[in-house]
Amino acid sequence: MKHRAILLLLAVTAALPAPGPALARRLNRYEYNCTIRDLLGVDFRAGDDFPADNFSYGFDNNAATLTVTPALMAKYLDAAKKIARAAIEPVPPPATPEVERHSNASAAPDIAWRRNFTWDGDYDVHIAIAGRSDPFALYISLDDGEPQRLPVSVDFEARRYADTRLTVGAGAHRLRVLVVRDDDRAVDQAWAYEEARARKTGAEPLSKAEIRTRLMAGALPDFAGRVTPPYPEFVEARGPYGLVLPAISAGYRLVFSCGHALGGHTPACVRGNLENLARRAWRRPVTPGEIDKLMRLAAAAPPSDSKSEQQNLRQQMETGVEAILVSPSFLFRVENAASPRGNDFEMASRLSYFLWSSMPDDELFHAAERRELADPAALQAQARRMLADPKSNFAAQWLEFRNLDFIHRDPARFPQFTADLRDAMRMETELFFEHVLHEDRGILDFLNAKYTFVNELLAKLYGIPGVAGDSFRQVDLDGTARVGVLTQASVLTVTSYSTRTSPVLRGKWILENILNDPPPPPPANVAALRDPSSEPALTLRQQLEQHRANPACAGCHLRMDALGFGLENFDAIGRWRARDEPLPIDSTGTLPDGSSFSSPVELAAILAKHPNAFAQCLTEKLLTFALGRELNSQDRVAAAGIGQSAAKTNYRLSDLILGIVASPAFRADAEAHE
């Protein structure tokens, strides 16, 4: 026993992985949750109870540091047991129809909603349209089919409504709502108002071009409520109606793919069900031999005398599902398996875990079966399709706002920092990231966008008037002190301590996540500073100035502190402040390259002057996440190339992502094994 354990230990130690092509990679907690959800159609979130995954190079999907311990193994077993039991249990349909709403925060005229319909049946779709200006037409399409024009209710309130009823099969469907509007006419209307206003006040009217720009950005406060281009504000689906009983849920159908009626299990179906589930769970074709072994295990389940045939077959399903979910083929993404068709399916998984943090869907899986993913154009098409429905948690890790869940603020100083505010901060940055992606915006929006997304709570924190209610909407930041992600409360909060801001942390955050220029480690033992107890209290700026007097510290702190102090006007929860009592805030600074600034907005403008550095930074972050490993020098060269070619298209975020998917760096790991 001892010897065996020690031998195993030596084996593990000897096989230290070096940076390079991907390893057998364990699903992290987030990926586990997403995969189970997509595999079984039910959101179990068992992974929330797993031990936290280790972070490396900024992300928690690094193959080398995702380790397995007995404690985790015990949880895998336990989770599989609970999930298997629930998965084979038919779910009773809801007694009353359920309603789910999808809101459109960005005022875009076109919204897409991927909804999981649990049941076959009819669903009432209810659409609210905000904004005024006629004429416009409203269209709806299901799963990208032919758009149907819908009649819209008459205009007697701020909102108008449209209703229709759709018949859908259980499973995920894409609803698209599109407002086709006459923008020229809206501009004319607004122009008329603007002219009247200018006549009245004697002010210079805005140009027609300026009105068009602002109008399309949803940003003409003077005309709010009078001329706003109409857009779908939300869509609701209510149902199911007209259920054919006994109804079978989407999740149940995913497990019992054989398709028989409830309770009509047969031995052949058990095999077919398990084979189909194993193929999906393991994200690759399965061999008859593998299923034979799985069936032997399932059939060896407990003594059968006291149970009916149906109960025994159910028991076999339960054991089979449980085994599938603790198999290494489920828990690990294994690349370079010797299977001759391996690469197609590995590429499918690679793509889906990059964009979705989850398993491939049927369409992607079928593309792999047809060997299409070796074709760059087909691969791009799949990636584009998938980007319409992003599910990965890249942004929360890159911008570090995931830490909002774990940080703490001194309640005496920051009583406003409630769970609701924390959620609102997270939501703002999530919506912002999605907006940049979906609207094909350039990545410089992260630095200099004069818009953001707030609800009433966050608007109050920011001092933005006229926002009521919990739902988020796009607001114009022109004339405010805020711009881009740097001044979003989420970022400002996670780079502060519980009682105060930290210019050093904020500076470091900018260097690492925006400028791609992480500070080198400080020299050893700089913390041993002289005893200043006899000196008067110093401001933070003065203390750090003292710190920089040490030449060993000066090089890096000069950069970090200058950047960080540029954001000092925002306190530890992102509120604007002019003073840090008893002294006024001094947010001026000069960067080592000589450029100087005197406000957060000016700092952001300087950062935006280096789009190449930022593009390279963001591409490297995306690539690290996509590959799940440390980047090597070739990867960095590749990232630089992707960033530079995106310059042609104004550094669109989607182009960086698609560039990675097309890059040898993303594909080479797979090809290296061919």
Closest distance between another protein and the C-beta of residue 555, in Å? Answer: 14
Strand order in the sheet with 110-117: 110-117, 171-181, 136-142, 148-150
Distance from C-alpha of 415 to C-alpha of 426, rounded to nearest angstrom: 18
Our CB check for another protein shows the closer of 532 and 584 to be 532
Our CB check for another protein shows the closer of 300 and 468 to be 300
Our CB check for another protein shows the closer of 263 and 302 to be 302
Closest distance between another protein and the C-beta of residue 283, in Å? Answer: 13
Closest distance between another protein and the C-beta of residue 58, in Å? Answer: 6
- The answer to whether residues 329 and 340 touch, using CB atoms and an 8 Å cutoff, is no
Our CB check for another protein shows the closer of 12 and 198 to be 12
Closest distance between another protein and the C-beta of residue 73, in Å? Answer: 4
Our CB check for another protein shows the closer of 140 and 270 to be 270
Distance from C-alpha of 272 to C-alpha of 257, rounded to nearest angstrom: 8
Our CB check for another protein shows the closer of 1 and 245 to be 1
DSSP state of 410: -
Our CB check for another protein shows the closer of 25 and 176 to be 25
- Degrees to nearest 5, angle at CA 70 with 65 and 72: 65
Our CB check for another protein shows the closer of 45 and 185 to be 45
Structure tokens at 599: 């406000």
Distance from C-alpha of 420 to C-alpha of 467, rounded to nearest angstrom: 16
Structure tokens at 631: 């980047």
> Got the DSSP string for 509-571?
HHHHHTSS-PPPPPPTTTT-----TTSPP--HHHHHHHHHHSHHHHHHHHHHHHHHHTTTTB-
Our CB check for another protein shows the closer of 134 and 535 to be 535
Closest distance between another protein and the C-beta of residue 1, in Å? Answer: 5
Structure tokens at 77: 């077993």
Closest distance between another protein and the C-beta of residue 424, in Å? Answer: 20
Beta bridge partners of 176: 112, 141
Cβ atoms within 10 Å of 599's Cβ, excluding its own: 15
Closest distance between another protein and the C-beta of residue 660, in Å? Answer: 19
Distance from C-alpha of 56 to C-alpha of 120, rounded to nearest angstrom: 44
Distance from C-alpha of 665 to C-alpha of 656, rounded to nearest angstrom: 13
Our CB check for another protein shows the closer of 27 and 386 to be 27
Please give the backbone phi and psi of residue 651, each rounded to the nearest 5 degrees, phi first: 55, 50
Q: Based on C-alpha coordinates, what's the Rg of the chain?
A: 28
Closest distance between another protein and the C-beta of residue 610, in Å? Answer: 21
Closest distance between another protein and the C-beta of residue 580, in Å? Answer: 16
Closest distance between another protein and the C-beta of residue 359, in Å? Answer: 18
Our CB check for another protein shows the closer of 110 and 290 to be 290
What SS3 class is residue 605?
helix
Sequence-separated contacts (24+) of 93-100 with Cβ below 8 Å: 93/119, 93/240, 93/243, 93/245, 93/247, 93/249, 94/240, 97/124, 97/238, 97/239, 97/240, 97/241, 98/238, 98/239, 99/236, 99/237, 99/238, 100/236, 100/237
Closest distance between another protein and the C-beta of residue 674, in Å? Answer: 14
Which residue type, as a one-letter code, is found at position 200?
A: K
CA distances (Å), 65 to each of 357, 496, 630, in order?
Answer: 17, 27, 11
Signed CA dihedral, 457, 458, 462, 468: sign only: negative
